[in-house]
Structure 1
Amino acid sequence: MVHDLIHWDNVRLVTPADVNTALSTQGYLPDEGISTAVFLAMTLRRPLLLEGEAGVGKTELAKSLAAATGGELIRLQCYEGIDAAQAVYDWDYAKQLLHLRATEATGESQQMTADALETSLYSERFLIKRALLRAIEPTEGPQPILLIDEVDRADDEFEAYLLEILSDFQVTVPEVGVFSTDRPPLVVLTSNRTRDVHDALKRRCLYHWVEHPGFDREVAIVKLRVPGIEAGLAKQVAAAVEGLRKLNLYKPPGVAETIDWATALGRLGAKELDNTMVTNTLGAVLKYREDHQRVEQHGIGELVKQAIEKGLLHA
């Protein structure tokens, strides 16, 4: 039964190890916890809620999963004030107006009752299908991956509406009818925890807290995403970022910043970290002036020294 539930195209994800391999092939190196959470979400047909600090790779996981399975990535970016018109469906008013004028020009509207004319305007041809409606449309081939990004930015009312849709995978458009699917998408929700997601939504989902990667995994990520980087420099960058995360910064660097920093250093021809190089490129990894000041107070020289020592220790 498991084989049928999680078979996309030629990709058979029968164990968490298969998920790990499939994601790694797309350049995303998961740990065992992430691979297991994704596998269970697929097997149990449950949404997966990923929480963690910004930059730990939550959104990238959904993108890599779509690439690995061949399913379409349908992304809904949440924000304060988002409603059904932005997330589920809306009407193409400009197209409706053109249609109305065309019926008037041809005289067709004179032969129609008001109800018939209104019905023609509110038909599926004028329906704009937003992310949630697109995700539950019947599809050929692999199920889509529905990414509901930063759900913690939406308000309570939208979260309640989202819970209803995720429970039934069904949307009713009063003027058209009911849209539903017996092959629901794999749903990945992300949260940076700017506020707590309600318990009702959490109970509907499988949950996984995404940590910053450990040293060895971050080195492997840098080597994979920054081809040609010196092995020693990759270790020093990962060690330096690990040190930065311990400084109680306003915005600790995520994996994306680690990759950006390593890429910038590689473009500058760096072979290893030094005080001047770190000072000149710190803007690739830290994006707030207050964080720069805290690192300067800690001592850039000390940061470099510790990074080099850890790099040598793991040589």
Structure 2
Amino acid sequence: MFEPESPEMLANVLEKHGYLADEGLATACFLALRMGRPLFLEGEAGVGKTELAKTLATVLDAPLIRLQCYEGLDAAQALYDWDFPRQLLHLKAAEAAGVHDAERLEGELYDRRYLIARPLLRALETWPSVLLVDEVDRADDEFEAFLLEVLSDFQISIPELGTVRAERPPVVVITSNRTREVHDALKRRCLYHWLEHPSFEREVAILRKRLPECGETLAAQVARATARLREADLVKPPGIAETLDWTEALLTLGARDLDPALAAASLGALLKYREDQETVLRNGLLDDVRPA
């Protein structure tokens, strides 16, 4: 597995794979790799938290194992489950063959081959791997406590099979959009970094890096317009992902400059709430967009 010698080296490698990390993020990521600690990324939606985990997996040449959190997520859905249909088929086949030894049947039913590994178990059994626990703030407090226990020891107990322990812990990236506060106990287990929206210069660089066909003029105009919208009172201010979508839509429409009519016509690629689109158009937030 690739082991960067410095934050600068890691930032350069990430950039080669299309992700531009600033000094703070590159340092936090480097320390997480070197210290074997989970990296907790917090920030508004669309600032590049999930994309970092994906790019990191590419850089490390490791599979990305993603656990998407949601309300009601429990340990069984994150750890493992038993393949009941296959167990039932095995039981019927054994009965048809005249096997009536209950103890033997039970041992065969709870064999490793009938175990369905969910993301957390797969990550413990796979090295190298990058475990992405995405949007942990959407999960319940009970799951958060369970996750803390798993990340503290990197092992789980399966009553029918015993303890499964990671020989080497996976690289762990946890993200939160801060829809609620995550408990301090989980954050203490991790290295923490808050992701801001990129600066104007960095956003222009991201657009040029990810969309090479985008010229300097259009990239600058899009970045300037997006920064203005982020300061407006919107339900969902646009993130980097939306900026890239908007730029790609503009390029698809043949744009070389960002004029107001084209900006308004393609607004659905940038703003995903009707109220936000109405706010922008009603207040003329794009009316003074002019070619540089």
TM-score norm. by structure 2 comes to: 0.97
Post-superposition offset of 1:284: 0.6
CA 1:303–1:50: 2 relative to 1, 3 Å: farther
1:134 to 122, 125, 128: 122
Whether 1:116 and 2:104 are equivalent positions in the alignment is yes
- 1:177-228 deviations in Å (ceiling 9; x for gaps): 1111231001000000111001110111110000011111111111111121
Deviation above 2 Å: which 4+ runs of structure 1?
A: 300-303
> 59-68 or 271-280, which moves further after superposition?
271-280
**Residue in structure 2 matched with residue 49 of structure 1 by the alignment:** 40
Cα 1:303–1:79 change in 2 (3 A) is farther
Contact 1:233 1:273 in 2 (8 A): yes
Secondary structure at the counterpart of residue 12 of structure 1: coil
Residue of structure 2 in register with 1:3 after alignment: none
Instruction: State the Cα deviation string for residues 25-46 of structure 1 (Å, max 9, x = none).
Output: 1111111111000001011111
Separation (CA, whole Å) in 2 of partners of 1:223 and 1:303: 23
**CA deviation vs aligned residue, 1:102-148 (integer Å, no higher than 9, x gap):** 111222x22x2x22211210111100010000111154xxx200000
CA deviation profile, 1:210-252 (whole Å, cap 9, x unmatched)? 0011111111111111121122001111111011101121100
Q: Which among 130, 141, 158 is matched to residue 145 of structure 1? A: 130
Q: Percent identity?
A: 58
RMSD of Structure 2 on Structure 1 (CA): 1.2
Give the letter for the 2:119 counterpart.
A
Per-residue deviation, 1:97: 0.6
Q: How does 1:185-200 map to 2 (within 5 A)?
A: 185-200=170-185
116-125 or 289-298, larger mean C-alpha shift: 289-298
Aligned with residue 171 of structure 1, among 141, 153, 156: 156
Tell me the residue number matched to 2:225: 240
SS at match of 2:289: helix
Deviation at 1:259, TM superposition (A): 0.4
Structure 1 CA distance for aligned equivalents of residues 77 and 151 of structure 2: 17
Q: Tell me whether 1:77 sits opposite 2:65 in the alignment.
A: no
Counterpart of 2:263 in structure 1 is: 278
Distance 1:248 1:23 in 2: 33
Match of 1:221 in 2: 206
Residues 303 and 295 of structure 1: CA distance in aligned 2, closer, same or farther (over 3 Å): farther
Residues 275 and 300 in structure 1, CA contact (< 8 A), matched pair in contact too: no
Which deviations, in whole Å up to 9, do the C-alpha atoms of 1:265-291 show, x marking residues without a partner? 101111101111011011110011111
| Uncovered stretches (5+) of structure 1, i.e. residues with no partner | 1-7
Secondary structure of 1:213's aligned partner: coil
CA distance in 2 between counterparts of 1:40 and 1:300 reads: 41
TM-score (norm 1): 0.90
Residue equivalent to 1:87: 78
- How has the CA–CA distance of structure 1 residues 303 and 209 changed in structure 2, closer, same or farther, with 3 Å as cutoff? farther
For 2:30 and 2:45, the matched residues in 1 are separated by 23
Tell me, yes or no, if structure 1 residue 298 matches structure 2 residue 279. Answer: no
Does residue 230 of structure 1 match 2:215? yes
Would you say the 8 A contact 1:48–1:207 is kept in 2? yes
Contact 2:123–2:131, Cα closer than 8 Å, also in 1? yes
Which secondary structure state, in structure 1, belongs to the residue aligned with residue 266 of structure 2? helix
Are the equivalent residues in 2 in contact too, given 1:50–1:58 (CA < 8 A)? yes
Confirm whether residue 20 of structure 1 aligns to residue 19 of structure 2: no
The alpha carbon displacement at 1:300 in A equals 3.9
Distance 1:161 1:303 in 2: 52
Contact 1:152 1:196 in 2 (8 A): yes
Match of 2:141 in 1: 156
Aligned length: 292
The AA in structure 2 aligned to 1:252 is P
SS at match of 1:304: coil
